[in-house]
Structure 1
Amino acid sequence: MNLFLDAFAWLADPAHLSGADGVPTRLGEHLWYTIVAVVIASVLAVPAGYLIGHTGRGRTLAVALTGGARALPTVGLVFLLALLVGIGITAPMIAFVVLAIPSVLAGAYSGFEAVDRKTIDAARAVGMTEWQIVTKVEVPLGLPLLIGGIRSATLQVVATATIATVVGAGGLGTYIFRGLRSNDYTQMLAGSIVVIALAVVLEILFSIVQRLVVPAGVTAGRPSDTRSKAVRPGAVTATPLTKGTQ
């Protein structure tokens, strides 16, 4: 418990709240790396996922490739890329994008696959083109699952972006690795607390967005609980015998 109190005291220390090495600066770096990596991954994976989901082609290959990408050791990939492109943010950013693509791709094509085929057939029956089916039917209905995939990718990158500091890119991992080298467990725990807090906040935000993007027609079509409440029988005021005598 004392270690946790020391960690919160470390975070509240004004000396750690300003400057290039302050918590707000490192938090901003960490969040920026996460946003950029997920945006790049989405630009690459969403169109491919939509194509796979709409046509039904290439799913096996996509599953194999994304499964292989998930199995890659991120730290090893960062060091390998650092040897190729040099020290800085480029190497970890490429690794973060590779890490984020599988979840975004899976969310994109799973969203399309989740759309009832009868809905697609009905859209074709009323004369919609394939592009209209994609943009007006499959994309809106599949959006919650896509947001779920982006949500998963974001949380994975937030947790992994701490390794950016090993190649001099900063971020919240600075406190964790610096504390590890100097046996400063208070600083390590403080950095970990901020990473966890960031992940929790993003999880809450994505949960809200995922609920908001459900099309109104889908929520309106959900059956409501119309079961009537049980009516308690009225109190017996008289028995048949007493009624007959009245």
Structure 2
Amino acid sequence: MSEFLDVFRRPDFIPLLVTHIELSVVALLLGVLIALPVALAVNRSPTLSAIAINIGNIGRAVPSLALLALAFPLLGFGFATSLVALTALAIPPILINASTGLRQVSPQVMDAAKGMGLSGAQILGRIQVPIAAPIIFAGIRTSAVQVVASATLATFVGGGALGQLIVLGFQRNQPAIQIAGALAVAVLAIITELLFGFLERAFTPKGLRVARKRRGK
């Protein structure tokens, strides 16, 4: 047990933890900044929305390690390679959910908004996005958890992160180091899931929350 606790007191534990969080946060932010504008741009076209969703599904099928392998020849070892791969991993769930959520807004609601004289941009900002917010945040939450878990692979391209402890435990045949690294990643993933679950509830319009409760009854 003391060997296990000693891992968290290692001088490199905090730097690796910080690197893991930095990689995850920056990759997720870039994923949001790329995926959301694309989803907003194609939401008026069923064909383009379907293409975006299919591209997202294809992206989700690509393994995380394969993304690292594809980025490595272009960028070499380091933080940037890991960031590019994790950003590519972050995009598909956000793109799929955002495109789907925006397209699922009731046509009757859209027609009513048009009848009230709202422009396309106003309908998007005041009607579609708020109604689709729970689905969009669900995609961001899924993406965030995937990125946090997959950031462990950054160690294979010199990106640091907590995966380095897991690999070190294997190399030295020291299960305490390996388990401590894996546990730290698991705790980060759980915290991420809880945090984004709270944000999803917080950004869900009150009317939708009330409607959900009524359906639950």
1:240 maps to what in 2?
Answer: none
Is 1:151 aligned to 2:144, yes or no? no
In structure 2, C-alpha distance between the alignment counterparts of 1:135 and 1:25, rounded to whole Å: 40
Is 1:60 aligned to 2:50, yes or no? yes
Residue among 92, 98, 105 paired with 2:95 = 105
The Cα of 1:184 is off from its aligned counterpart by 1.4
* Aligned-residue RMSD, C-alpha: 2.0
1:232 maps to what in 2?
Answer: none
In structure 2, C-alpha distance between the alignment counterparts of 1:187 and 1:18, rounded to whole Å: 10
Conserved 8 A contact 2:53-2:99: no
Superposition pairs of residues 119-158 of structure 1, within 5 angstroms? 119-158=109-148
Is 1:12 aligned to 2:19, yes or no? no
The Cα of 1:123 is off from its aligned counterpart by 0.3
- Code of the residue aligned with 2:133 in structure 1: it is L
In structure 1, C-alpha distance between the alignment counterparts of 2:152 and 2:214, rounded to whole Å: 46
- Code of the residue aligned with 2:135 in structure 1: it is L
The Cα of 1:18 is off from its aligned counterpart by 5.5
Is 1:189 aligned to 2:141, yes or no? no
Superposition pairs of residues 211-222 of structure 1, within 5 angstroms? 211-221=201-211
Report the TM-score when normalising by structure 2: 0.91
Once the two structures are superposed, what CA deviation does each residue of 1:38-67 show, in whole Å capped at 9, x if it has no partner?
111111110111223333231232233222
Conserved 8 A contact 1:140-1:215: yes
In structure 1, C-alpha distance between the alignment counterparts of 2:112 and 2:22, rounded to whole Å: 43
Conserved 8 A contact 1:104-1:149: yes
2:163 maps to what in 1?
Answer: 173
1:28 maps to what in 2?
Answer: 18
In structure 1, C-alpha distance between the alignment counterparts of 2:191 and 2:25, rounded to whole Å: 14
Q: How many residues align?
A: 216
SS of residue in 2 equivalent to 1:171: coil
Conserved 8 A contact 2:67-2:88: no
In structure 2, C-alpha distance between the alignment counterparts of 1:16 and 1:197, rounded to whole Å: 13
In structure 2, C-alpha distance between the alignment counterparts of 1:16 and 1:194, rounded to whole Å: 9
Structure whose residues are more often helix by fraction: 2
- Code of the residue aligned with 1:93 in structure 2: it is L
The Cα of 1:209 is off from its aligned counterpart by 1.1
